[in-house]
Amino acid sequence: MWTEHEVKELLRQAGVPVPRGVRDPALAGTLRAPLVLKAAGLLHKSDAGGVRLGLTHDTLGAAVAEMRERLGDGFLVEEQAPEGVELIAGLIRDPAFGPVLLAGLGGVWTEALRDTALRLCPISESDARRMLASLRGSSLLYGYRGWPAVDVDAVVKLLMTLGGPGGLWERLELGEFELNPVIATPSGVIAVDARYLPSPRPPSAAPRAAADFTPLFEPRAVAVVGASTSRPAFGNMFLDFYRAAGTPVVAVHPTATSIGGVPAVPTLAAAEVDYALVAVPAAACAEVVRQARGVPYTQVMSGGFGEAGRADLEEALVAAAREAGTRLLGPNCMGVYCPKGRQTFVGGGVGPEGSVALISQSGGLAGEVIKVGERRGLAFSRVATLGNAADVTPAELLGWLSRDPSTSAVGLYLEDPRDGLALFSALSSCPLPVVLLVGGRSGQGRRAAASHTGGMVSDARIWQALADQTGATLVTTQDALVGALAYFQAHTPRPLADPAPTPRGLDPGERRTAGVLVVGPSGGAGVLAADAFDEAGLTLDPLPDDVLDDLRALGLGAGSSLANPLEVPVGPRGRPDLVKEVITAVTGRLPYRDVVAHVNVQSFFTYGTTADPLLAYARHLGEVRGVRVTLVTRNGEFAPPGVEDELMAIAAAAGIPVYRSMEAAAIAVAAGQRFCGGTDGTA
């Protein structure tokens, strides 16, 4: 551990203001009182009584003697900094993502308040300002109840010195590096306490040439290793899947010439394929993979490697893949799904070709997303399960998918990013919307940290920082992942298709937009919708005053106010085109980025006898132009069999995503506005 004096000399050379100080109390005569006396070599000096404030030159000697008796020799005497807002700023090396910057309210209240923000390094100046603005106590920085605002620019400069391009994070052997407190005043900042615990920098992985993953998703032929001639096995199941999908496939078996009607070859070396699926016991996998010379991609479905405590088997597997010159998917993964390439690891054939991609470290979850997603109208371009991601990583695949003309949106399910820095880079440069679902955010745990900084870094906060910095949408459930991808499938290729003309009474340069308009029956449902959209961080902007007469002319407003959410009668006896006319009237005056129309499906069958009015409503809704429309079918379980499918087909043809709850729609719309354009007008 460096001494505080050494750390402050490092800061001084980096341009960070620190107090003048001396290590020998006998030399303190050159310092201006009041003085601070500190015991050297303690991590938490305040807790041990190792800090004395407000000393004069006359009282310094007695304070030194008393502290020496309790804590031993070794001191630092400094000029006491002026009062101000106490902050913490620190760096720590996260095991997955590398250097992380933390900033927040500091001093003795650091752990009690835990009011901090995180960002992955390197940060931008915008990141630094967003960190400060996100603090619960941010008002203390910008002036509060008579207290003057601090020099926020100086705080930002300090954060950039630590975590920005070329900052200390690039030079330090982290460990942990902490400034606490930093005193912020109207005239600048000063770091009054500093500590640095070095730790050897982990070796960097050697960069690999960018791979072409087309043969992975669109192989000319596939080999399956592990099918049995005597009993059902996973290999046999995959042979059936490939036969049903019409994929050219060959089995690998030491003695058989065919298995289940599929031709067989004795070794993988004899298979002329682009993709090999290996489903044999873990101990035998490396030898099989070693035979894969000339096979661009080999997937190991088998488990029993690093996830089971057998890192040695996993290392041997990777070595075998490199020896053979094949890229390895897995181990412990289910495989690849691509309707265009007739690649599949799920039964029932392949679905329609689409533009949604998925990278998942869980094969089971990926299978669910495929089947549930296709049931809800999703159409996939590429799906890859990576399991332990011992070779091909999520970052590498995301980088390729971001350039894939077949893909317009990407979902990620991750538990261990494998190479967090590469994932950060890939997300930062990805031009597509990305929806991120993370498993184990609260369960992985972290090593005990000696400093406040390390103690306040957690898995969940790292992932949120990653999303905040890269523009990815972080969701917490599988349903939210599917829902957000459905929104992007419907709207991303045409964020505002067929744009409406400039609203009446405005010049083109005066055109403005609003956030979300909610339209549908039931005032109570509207109130709950407002709560759901507020929780998702979305703005329900008021209706423009000049549209109220138009709405009254359409029959709205009798017995209720005209507001957003807007109550519109929708049911089996209502006009099926009324909501379309209402939306057109409102957006003709004030273009909303998103319109969420909701219906109570139950009412159509409690007060009606056929699905025709509900389907007619959906058709008219599909005629709305110039705005992204989302449909919520509340109480959809009341529809007779087949009706929901027909309604979803009508909506899908019109580019309208459908949700069963306001909460699900709010999460998806928030993801869309985050990427396509938020309520503050930023992309």
- Give the number of other CB atoms < 10 A from CB of residue 651: 22
Q: 4-11 contacts: CB < 8 A, separation 24 or more?
A: 4/38, 4/40, 4/76, 4/193, 4/194, 4/195, 5/40, 5/76, 6/196, 7/177, 7/194, 7/195, 7/196, 8/191, 8/194, 10/168, 10/196, 11/179, 11/191, 11/194
Tens of pLDDT, residue by residue over 382-405, are 999 999 999 999 999 999 999 999
- Here the tokens at position 552 are 């009254």
Average of per-residue pLDDT across 427-435: 96
Worst-scoring range by mean pLDDT, 65-79, 330-344, 562-576, 668-682?
668-682
Q: Identify the bridge partners of residue 51 per DSSP, sorted by sequence position.
A: 38
d(CA 481, CA 411): 7
**Contact predicate 423/389, CB 8 Å:** no
Task: Determine the residue type at 393.
Answer: T
Phi first, then psi, for residue 594 (nearest 5°) are -135, 140
Q: Are 452 and 90 in contact (CB under 8 A)?
A: yes
Helix pair angle (152-163, 125-134), 10° resolution: 120
Nearest Cα neighbor of 439 from 384, 378, 387 is 387
Average of per-residue pLDDT across 342-366 = 94
User: 452 and 197 in contact (C-beta within 8 Å)?
Assistant: no
At residue 493, does pLDDT exceed 70? Answer: no
Closest CA to 31 of 83, 80, 82: 80
Taking 90 as the threshold, does the pLDDT of residue 677 lie above it? no
**Quick one: DSSP state of residue 144?**
B
Distance CA 183, CA 163 (A): 19
The tally of CA atoms less than 13 A away on the side-chain side of residue 131 is 35
DSSP state of 445: -
Element (H, E) at 447: none
The CA angle 615-658-493, to the nearest 5 degrees, is: 110
Phi, psi torsion values for 537, nearest 5 degrees: 80, 20
> What single letter denotes the amino acid at residue 448?
A
Provide the pLDDT for residue 432: 96
68 close to 52: Cβ distance less than 8 angstroms: no
Average pLDDT, stretch 406-414? 96
Please name the helix (run of DSSP H) or strand (run of DSSP E) that holds residue 356, with its range, or none. strand 353-360
**Structure confidence by residue, pLDDT tens digits, 229-249:** 888 888 999 999 999 999 999
In the prediction, which pLDDT does 145 show?
Answer: 82
pLDDT tens-digit profile of 26-48? 999 999 999 999 998 777 787 78
What pLDDT does 574 receive? 87
Mean pLDDT value across residues 617-625: 95
Among the residue ranges 129-133, 267-271, 450-454, 625-629, the one predicted with the least confidence is: 450-454
Token pair listed for 185? 């005043």
User: pLDDT tens for residues 2-25?
Assistant: 889 999 999 999 999 999 999 999
Q: Are strands 249-252 and 258-259 parallel, antiparallel or unpaired?
A: unpaired
Calpha distance 681→683 (Å, rounded): 7
Q: Is the peptide bond before 657 cis (omega within 30 degrees of 0)?
A: no
- Share above pLDDT 70 across residues of the chain, in percent, rounded to a whole number: 92
Report the C-alpha gap between 589 and 580 in whole angstroms.
Answer: 15
pLDDT for residue 17: 97
The answer to whether residue 121 scores a pLDDT higher than 90 is: yes
- The yes-or-no verdict on residue 63 having pLDDT over 60 is yes
463-474 burial code (b ≥16 CB/10 A, e <16): bbbbbbbbebbb
First CA to last CA distance, the chain: 44
Q: Where are the beta strands (DSSP E) in 144-187?
A: 174-185
- 558-567's contacts with Cβ under 8 Å and 24+ in sequence apart are 560/523, 564/517, 564/518, 564/540, 565/518, 565/519, 565/520, 565/526, 565/527, 565/529, 565/530, 565/540, 566/517, 566/518, 566/519, 566/526, 567/520, 567/521, 567/522, 567/523, 567/526
DSSP characters over 532-563: HHHHTT---PPPPGGGHHHHHHTT--TTS---
Q: Which two tokens stand for residue 20?
A: 């003048």
State residue 263 phi and psi, 5-degree precision: -60, 150
What the chain holds in terms of domains, given with CATH numbers, is 20-79 (3.30.1490.20), 85-198 (3.30.470.20), 213-322 (3.40.50.720), 351-493 (3.40.50.261), 497-676 (3.40.50.261)
* pLDDT exceeds 50 at position 510: no
How far is the C-alpha of 651 from the C-alpha of 25, rounded, in Å?
78
- Quickly list DSSP for 407-428: -SEEEEEES--SSHHHHHHHHH
- Calculate the alpha carbon distances from 489 to 19, 462, 645 in Å: 56, 28, 18
Dist CA 145 CA 279 (whole Å):
68
Q: Which residues contact 6 (CB under 8 A, 6 or more apart)?
A: 196
pLDDT of residue 221: 96
CB neighbourhood size of 513 (10 A): 16
| Cα separation, 544 vs 553, whole angstroms | 15
How is the beta sheet containing 258-259 ordered, strand by strand?
A: 258-259, 262-265, 249-252, 222-225, 275-278, 297-300, 327-329
CA quadruple 402, 405, 409, 412: dihedral sign: negative
Give the pLDDT confidence score for residue 40 in this predicted structure: 85
- pLDDT tops 80 at residue 496: no
Q: Output the pLDDT for position 679.
A: 35
DSSP per-residue codes, 197-229 = EE-PPPPPPPP-PPP--HHHHS-S-EEEE---S
Cα–Cα dist 38/34, whole Å: 13
Q: Specify the 3-state DSSP secondary structure of 25.
A: helix
